[in-house]
Amino acid sequence: MNVADSELVMTILKQNGFDRAENIETADVILFNTCSVRQHAEERVLGRINNEMRHKSLKDVKIGVIGCMAQRLGTELADLSRGVDFVVGVDQYDKLPEIIRSSFREEFLSYTDVDNEQLYPAIIPQHQDNLKAFITIMRGCNNFCSYCIVPYTRGRERSRSPLEIIEDVKKAGEQGLREIMLLGQNVNSYSYEEINFPQLLRMVNEIPSIKRIRFTTSHPKDLSDELIETMADTDKVCEHFHLAMQSGDNEILKRMNRGYTAEHYYDLTVKLRQAIPEIAITTDVIAGFPGETEEQFQRTYDIMQKIEFDHAYMFKYSSRSGTRAAEFLDQVPEEIRLERLQRLIKQQEVITTRKYKNAIGSVREIYVENISRRSQEEVSGKTRDFKVTVFPGDSQLIGKFVNVKIVEAAGWTLKGKLLK
């Protein structure tokens, strides 16, 4: 999502006479596009800003912070880092050209007003990737999960016009991009007049130049039978579904304000696998949420073992100021959060390894994306179910769809042999 917002910002700036610097040494303006989901992300931003302060001693360089951290902290950022010249929230990007120019004449500037109708209409971002496009279909979130800062930094849900989205996808196809990722804080709640998310998927599926369609992120409470049926029926929608579970205990899910039960979540995974047998299901899980007992944690551990996710993004609970969960009095001690997280990771490693080994002997379609990081004589890409695959090849294969026979599973990477 930050990649998509960075492309939006870059497009706005280019349309207003700015050029992207070849490197940070030649830049007159340095922008940090930020995330606030976890405290660690914000700490990294402050560290990076301090690292780039040296440029200010060489010439008049302005440093701006944009995105969720700017939205959350606003003028507080001036106190946290003397190097910040301006902050701009997620709904004020169209003012960036004016703000940047003003920053060379004025002291610290802050533009963080919330606009719950801002969708940046008529701005089709220039996608920076040569192979795939990240396309925002909606902004904001209405869920107010008790641990999450996003609704406070991104505002309420609002959906882009399907006509704008289709134009965006077509332009990506004209650039030669064959894979798109539809983005939103909660894509399956997309709604514009009479068009819902399954209908939008069917519209995008009809665009000839696009070969693969992915989307993220989906909320379990809004996963409909219609969406599952649409995924099964459309040939370009990939067999991968990221569905954040967060916890396997109903009382914890209630405290999280997630809007579903563990039983309902499990039933959704059964429905997905019945409709699309080859689907890979991935998830997010939080260990050590406030009030979580050992018994409640064990329910999460057990349901992960029962469902057998292909992959899981697992985190210890991170308190975010301004959320309801940060005010809960029964915070779980840090050492217990870490210990529970390690148990989840260890279990998931076993499951993921088994899942990947099950792919050995199969033939998979790979969209080749890069030269392998470990060998110049190999290339890497992803299967339709979102598994990284490495196999012998050269740069002429990049951007092509090829069939590869899987011969090995090494860690969380598949290794294969190109079929002629």
- Rounded to an integer, what is the distance from CA 31 to the centroid of its chain? 20
Put simply, whether the predicted model's pTM sits higher than 0.85 gets the answer: yes
CATH topology of domain 132-356: pyruvate-formate lyase- activating enzyme (3.80.30)
CA dihedral 318, 323, 324, 327 (to 10 degrees): 70
CA distance 310 to 363: 18
- Rounded to an integer, what is the distance from CA 334 to the centroid of its chain? 26
Tell me: pLDDT of 301 over 90: yes
Task: Centre a 10 Å sphere on the Cβ of residue 306 and count the other Cβ atoms it contains.
Answer: 11
At 197 the pLDDT is 98
Tell me: pLDDT of 79 over 90: no
* Residue 217, preceding peptide bond in cis (omega within 30° of 0): yes
Tell me: pLDDT of 82 over 90: no
Q: What is the 3-state secondary structure (H, E, C) of 38-104?
A: CHHHHHHHHHHHHHHHHHHHCCCCEEEEEEHHHHHHCCHHHHHCCCCCEEECCCCHHHHHHHHHHHC
Angstrom distances, CA of residue 154 to CA of 113, 115, 304, 360: 11, 9, 30, 42
Q: What digits encode the pLDDT tens for the residues 114-145?
A: 999 999 998 989 998 999 999 999 999 999 99
Backbone torsions φ then ψ of 287, nearest 5 degrees: -105, 135
Backbone torsions φ then ψ of 68, nearest 5 degrees: -65, -40
Confidence grade of residue 202 (pLDDT, cut at 50, 70, 90): very high
Domain range 363-418, its CATH number among 2.60.40, 3.40.50, 2.40.50, 3.40.1800: 2.40.50
Assign residue 409 a region: left if phi > 0, alpha if psi is -120 to 50, beta otherwise?
A: beta
Average pLDDT, stretch 370-383?
95
At 94 the pLDDT is 96
∠ CA 357-362-363, rounded to 5°: 135
Alpha carbons within 13 A on the beta-carbon side of 24 = 13
Q: Evaluate whether 109 touches 86 at the Cβ level (below 8 Å).
A: yes
Task: Centre a 10 Å sphere on the Cβ of residue 321 and count the other Cβ atoms it contains.
Answer: 11
At 6 the pLDDT is 95
Tell me: pLDDT of 350 over 90: yes
Average pLDDT, stretch 303-321?
96
Can you give the residue ranges of every domain in the chain?
A: 2-111, 132-356, 363-418
Task: Centre a 10 Å sphere on the Cβ of residue 96 and count the other Cβ atoms it contains.
Answer: 21
3-state secondary structure (DSSP) of residue 170: helix
H or E stretch at 164:
helix 162-174
CA distance 254 to 260: 8
Task: Centre a 10 Å sphere on the Cβ of residue 180 and count the other Cβ atoms it contains.
Answer: 25
Angstrom distances, CA of residue 108 to CA of 13, 45, 102: 20, 18, 10
Task: Specify the CATH number of the domain 2-111.
Answer: 3.40.50.12160
